[in-house]
Structure 1
Amino acid sequence: MRVAAFGTGFFSTYHYDSWSRIPGVELVGICVHSNTARAEEFARRYGAKAVFTNPEEMLDATEPDLVDIITTPESHAALVRLAAARNIPIICQKPLAPTFEEAQALVETAGRTGTLIVAHENWRFRPWNREAGRLLRDGAIGEAYNVLFRMRPGDGQGPSAYLDRQPYFQKMPRFLIHETGIHTIDVFRYLMGEVTGVFAHLRRLNPAIAGEDAGYVTFNFASGAAGVFDGNRLIDFEAENPRLTMGEMLIEGSDGSLRIDGFGRIWLRRRGGAAMEHTYSWENKGYAGDSVHALQAHVVRHLREGTPVENVASEYLKALCIEEAIYRSHAERRWIDLMQ
């Protein structure tokens, strides 16, 4: 399978490393806006065949079977148009676009040519979230009543917050939910089902940034379950690497509970008993339990074998609708019913 990619930013290293490890994948091109020296270094490191600065030239010269868009959100629409015009399947990093309306337009662009576009939303592919999903489906804690995620990466303090990795974070007018909390929205949907309503209170604690960096969001689910997202990027928590899980999750049900800690461990407690570690297999490599690799391999398997694919962009718009409702709830200081 021939893969061409756009971008060489901070997070792209996880993408390229993954492509280099999927059997039968050939990285045929890397396209950048201007930093060809970095792109050429990536090409040597990950085995890419060529470097380009013109997106159309790369697509026409390499004729890829799949493109991976790893650039900043404002560039996504133009790149999607080029790939969709050639009916080349697309993986597109999140956020899909700077605004919900632009994301809708991007999805419509791909839809007009029947081009597959998958949102690169890798948190649902983290091994502890996949295992938690399996345990819930198997009835390990009975009927799920509540889910709580406390996001505590601890990387948001002071005037230099985020500058070493993703400096554009400081200028985002919507930050905690739009950039980071959207992951939890997607994981909640994966684990608990569709969201029917939200209420939010958001805050900006670090004056060096433009957007919010802390907040509480409550969720109702179609199943009748409830959820809470408690996010604060300034606070850390017990973990060898806070970025591994970014926080702790607790899911409670009629027959017990399960908890995911900062080490990727799952603690299962049966009703009336004590919590015990649930053993399962995963590798501490790549990004967050190799979740980028899991997502990319998932898409490759779909294209090769026709297996079901998760998070096609048209479906992912539901998560973006929830994001919009969260910001609306905060602005209007009221509950937003997503079923109206």
Structure 2
Amino acid sequence: MKLKAVLVGTKGWADAHARAYQACQSIELVGICGHSNIDRLNELADRYQIPHRSLNLAPLLHETNPDVVDIVSSPDARLELVKVAARVSAVKVINIEKPLALTPSEAYEIADICKSHQKLLLVNHQHKFLPAWSKARNWLQEGAIGDIEFIRASTKVNIMEQGSHLIDMVMFFNDFSPVAWVMGQAGPYEGKDNSSIIAPDESMATVLFDNGVRAMFECGAFARSIPGETNPFYHIGIDVYGTEGHVKIALNQTLEMRNYLTHKHVIEKSSWEESYMDALVLYLESIEGYVSNPDAGHSCDLEHSMLSYQVIMAIYHTAKYGGKIVLPHRFEDSIVERFVDDSEQ
């Protein structure tokens, strides 16, 4: 029997989710909830033949009794929506978009709510399911470049927007090794990248993992450019250097692996535009396995997502106070408030 899902949100990325559900074999989209625009809600529901629709989430959930609540809405509304979903006994999984939260207190509250109500939480880092990125990770796990020593990762969009995906992918490539310490720096908020998520325009950090791997992150307008890209959201790249070679991947360009000892050299296509929908379908399909066996975990579950979120907050913390910070650490909201204040001036 298929799982039942309710989608929360009606804007651009919600449309992608609704379309992806049409290809899912294990989940059926039975309802959709909007915020205020009834015309957009009805248009989306009609287009994908979603039987139940509402501008009020609570009654919609009680009417449909879904297994999955898929929250594809702006981050500032996410906490209240999670509270509503967690109170419905039928709900097994709450899926949210990145970032996990805009402030540390919101992240901790979301985690506490899901744990206290025994709900599974996923954060949609679907990049793990892109074929080129999945292959890159397999190469690294198979030792194609020896032991990983250093990772360079960059995006030209801010740290809470695409930087959230970037840091999560580095964690994924490094097999989610715990982080020993983080040292970061950040500039002011100026809105250079047109992201709807308020965060410093430019930030950078060095991270040391417990397994000895070091990583360097660059997020924002000053980060390196990926040749051939004109969309700032596509300027995402990760270079992994090992004892025997390197793996380099760009979001919408190429995947490269070179072994310095065997001289094996592979270059393949890496395409977001051609693969993102298939990756989203694979991500949604993976939910069924997680529901069936929660103890096995999921690469996008609360535990893994909190690891990468802690790195982001550590960069904010050291940008404000200096020095480096050892993880895990419980952060306070004051480390992000100055950027919100900048946006209101």
Give the alignment's TM-score, normalised by structure 2.
Answer: 0.82
2:21 is aligned, of 7, 19, 30, to: 19
1:59 is aligned, of 61, 73, 78, to: 61
Pairing 1:203–2:191 present: no
Residue 62 of structure 1 and its aligned partner are, at CA, apart by 1.1
> What's the Cα RMSD here?
2.7
1:232 is aligned, of 220, 226, 236, to: 220
| Contact 2:152–2:217 (8 Å) recurs in 1 | yes
Count of matched residue positions in the alignment of Structure 1 and Structure 2: 317
Residue 291 of structure 1 and its aligned partner are, at CA, apart by 2.9
> 1:172 corresponds to which residue?
none
CA distance in 1, matches of 2:102, 2:208: 26
Pairing 1:221–2:223 present: no
Residue 107 of structure 1 and its aligned partner are, at CA, apart by 1.2
| Contact 1:68–1:92 (8 Å) recurs in 2 | yes
| Contact 1:43–1:49 (8 Å) recurs in 2 | yes
| Contact 1:239–1:263 (8 Å) recurs in 2 | no
CA distance in 2, matches of 1:241, 1:136: 29
Stretch moving more, 112-121 or 265-274: 265-274
CA distance in 2, matches of 1:256, 1:286: 27
| Contact 1:20–1:47 (8 Å) recurs in 2 | no
> 2:171 corresponds to which residue?
189
Stretch moving more, 252-261 or 289-298: 289-298
- Match of 1:109, as an amino acid? I
1:330 is aligned, of 298, 313, 319, to: 319
Residue 130 of structure 1 and its aligned partner are, at CA, apart by 1.5
CA distance in 2, matches of 1:97, 1:261: 26
Q: CA, structure 1 residues 319+247, in 2 after alignment: closer, same or farther (shift >3 Å)?
A: closer
CA distance in 1, matches of 2:270, 2:167: 25
CA distance in 2, matches of 1:243, 1:41: 30
Q: CA, structure 1 residues 291+244, in 2 after alignment: closer, same or farther (shift >3 Å)?
A: farther
Q: CA, structure 1 residues 119+57, in 2 after alignment: closer, same or farther (shift >3 Å)?
A: same
Provide, for residues 259-294 of structure 1, a one-character-per-residue CA deviation record: whole Å limited to 9, x for no partner: 11354422111115767334589885363x633222
| Contact 2:155–2:162 (8 Å) recurs in 1 | no
- Match of 1:134, as an amino acid? N
> 1:9 corresponds to which residue?
11
Stretch moving more, 295-304 or 204-213: 204-213
Stretch moving more, 130-139 or 177-186: 177-186
Residue 68 of structure 1 and its aligned partner are, at CA, apart by 0.3
- Match of 1:203, as an amino acid? G
Residue 97 of structure 1 and its aligned partner are, at CA, apart by 2.7
SS state at 1:141 partner: coil
Pairing 1:138–2:122 present: no
Provide, for residues 9-61 of structure 1, a one-character-per-residue CA deviation record: whole Å limited to 9, x for no partner: 23222211211110253211111111111111111222211220111110011
Stretch moving more, 298-307 or 96-105: 298-307
Stretch moving more, 258-267 or 298-307: 298-307
CA distance in 2, matches of 1:58, 1:70: 16
Residue 177 of structure 1 and its aligned partner are, at CA, apart by 1.9
Pairing 1:109–2:113 present: yes
CA distance in 2, matches of 1:119, 1:70: 11
Residue 207 of structure 1 and its aligned partner are, at CA, apart by 6.2
Unpaired segments ≥5 residues, structure 2 = 330-345
> 2:31 corresponds to which residue?
29
> 2:44 corresponds to which residue?
42
Residue 299 of structure 1 and its aligned partner are, at CA, apart by 1.1
CA distance in 2, matches of 1:283, 1:152: 16
Q: CA, structure 1 residues 140+149, in 2 after alignment: closer, same or farther (shift >3 Å)?
A: same
- Match of 1:30, as an amino acid? I
Provide, for residues 199-220 of structure 1, a one-character-per-residue CA deviation record: whole Å limited to 9, x for no partner: 1122248466864212221111
| Contact 2:130–2:272 (8 Å) recurs in 1 | no
